[in-house]
Chain A
Amino acid sequence: MRKLKELIIEKVILICGLASIFFVVLIFLFLLKEGLAVFKIVSPFKFLFGKSWYPISEPPQLGILPLVLGSLLVTVGAVIISIPIGVGCAIYIAEIAPLKIKEALKTGIELLTAIPSVVLGFIGMVTLVPLAKNIFHIPTGLTALSGSIMLAFMAMPTIVSIAEDALYSVPKTYKEGALALGATHWQAIWRVMLPAASSGILAAVMLGIGRVIGETMAVMMITGNAAVIPSSILAPVRTLTATIAAEMGEAVVGSEHYFALFAIGIVLFVISFAINVTADLFLHKRQ
């Protein structure tokens, strides 16, 4: 009887484990089925490198280069802002902070994850956007930079918690050895701890990027959504995610526009898949 129970539970857990893979495969197949249909209308080259995005015109112009570049620009901006702050924060928490501050900081960072992105977007819209407009004397504050700053906030918790984990798992003896050889605290962190935890920190950064590139709501609200190849980080951009979110409601099911949006989904899927695999490689290297 007990054995039977064990067996059933084992099988149930097995199904649960397989379910996630099963769903990923299903989603991917659906994406492929709907998205690849667009290549009957435009060539993959024209789709990826076309410079105009006018999906509802006759005939539609389906070039996503401005959208890809928009997504990349916002992501790069967010990464440049969030890496130094995130890694610095992780070092402070793992190596320097006294226990009480450490606990407070960790809770604070977890709270940051709990803020819904639409709320961050709204806060950005009423605070950051006018601020950017006034500081840089630009025609509008709805720019890639505003998006990057807001996204940096969203990537930070991921980067901090994983990087802190990586630093924590460096054997204590490394640091003690360095200190025993006469290194200062900072030298020990910079020369010994950081290199030892580097693969984990890289993984943290990659996962942060993954979080940023898939983010939709906040960027849709504060980047202006102009489908033009961005000339600087102070120009409005339209991201891949915002395009799907803004246009999916309109797209007539089975139209070129509908297929094009799914093809954008494939592009996004490929990008985040590549990022996650890279992060995974770094994480495994560490072990």
Chain B
Amino acid sequence: MFKKLLLILIMVTFAASAFAVKNKNSIQVKGSDTMVNLGQAWAEKYMEINAGDFAAVTGGGSGTGLSSLISGTCDIAMSSRNIKEKEIALAKQKGIDPNEIKVALDGLAVIVNPDNPISKLTLAQLADIFTGRVTNWKEIGGKDEKIVVLSREVNSGTHVYFKEHVLRKNDSNSKEEFAPTALMLSSSQAIADEVAGNPSAIGYYGMGYVSKKQKALAIAKDGKLEYESPIIENVINGKYPISRPLFLYTNGVPGGLVKKFVDFILSKEGQNIVLATDFVPVK
């Protein structure tokens, strides 16, 4: 009796999983951790309007999303960086044609503990801190404490963007790297938690993650320019120096359900959600 029950249970599970794969009304969205909250907000509103459609949003990092798109396990990849040449080549090999859609802008906030007296830095000082040339807060006018540098893991688009635009100052010949002593944390939330509890820590992430437990620094391109805070107006008018576009990647020009979802994102309603989740709309 028990065996029979078990058998039926197993068969039902298999049938259900087969059915889930075939369900045409669902799309899988995967990628950038920075964009997970945004993606989920989009999906919720979208499913509210289009009852019966289903969009599942998961994180994991831009690289994770793009490699899922390439291997065909998701329909839309969210990415906080441009797709790499290597990834395009690999996608072509597998018969996937990555199509880029710019959906929002994001200011990268550099955050410290609210107890830290430092409240503004230049890009050059940031580069010094994150590459490990400056290791004590007193060297840049703070307390006599060792700087604990926090970074995202290498699978994060934020990590790559910060390295290319802050550490290497957009110079493709530059060989600057994150200091080997930098702690690599696996999510933006982990960085937020560590900064909230550690007065000597410094980290970076999308400005949507900043809360009262962290202090976002004002950043200047160089000593002569004004220090600007990571707020929405400063990202739109381009004054805040560390901001970047956020992308969706689809396989070819989107059609069917994917197109419906992307159109919704680019609609006024979708872009209002962008604003509501502390990102900057593109339209």
Contacts and interface: CB of A to CB of B under 8 A. Distances in A.
B140 to A, nearest CB: 16
A56 B154 contact: yes
A57 interface: yes
Contact of A253 (B67, B198, B201): B67
B155 A253 contact: no
B265 to A, nearest CB: 24
A52 B183 CA distance: 15
Contact of B181 (A56, A130, A236, A246): A236
B236 interface: no
A178 interface: no
Interface in B58-94: 60-61, 63-64, 67, 70-71, 84, 86-87, 90
B13 to A, nearest CB: 22
A249 interface: yes
B145 interface: yes
A188 interface: no
Contacts of B181: 226, 228, 236
Contacts of A251: 63, 67
A66 B179 CA distance: 13
A253 B68 CA distance: 11
A139 B116 CA distance: 14
B145 A249 contact: no
Contacts, number: 86
Contact of B197 (A52, A130, A139, A236): A130
A249 B64 contact: yes
A25 to B, nearest CB: 26
21 contacts: A52-B177, A57-B175, A57-B177, A139-B145, A139-B147, A140-B194, A140-B198, A225-B184, A225-B186, A226-B180, A226-B181, A226-B184, A227-B180, A249-B61, A250-B63, A250-B64, A250-B154, A252-B86, A252-B90, A253-B67, A253-B70
Interface of B: 60-61, 63-64, 67, 70-71, 84, 86-87, 90, 145-148, 153-155, 160, 175, 177, 180-186, 190, 193-194, 197-198, 200-201
Given A228-B180, A252-B63, 5 more contacts: A221-B186, A226-B180, A228-B181, A249-B155, A252-B84
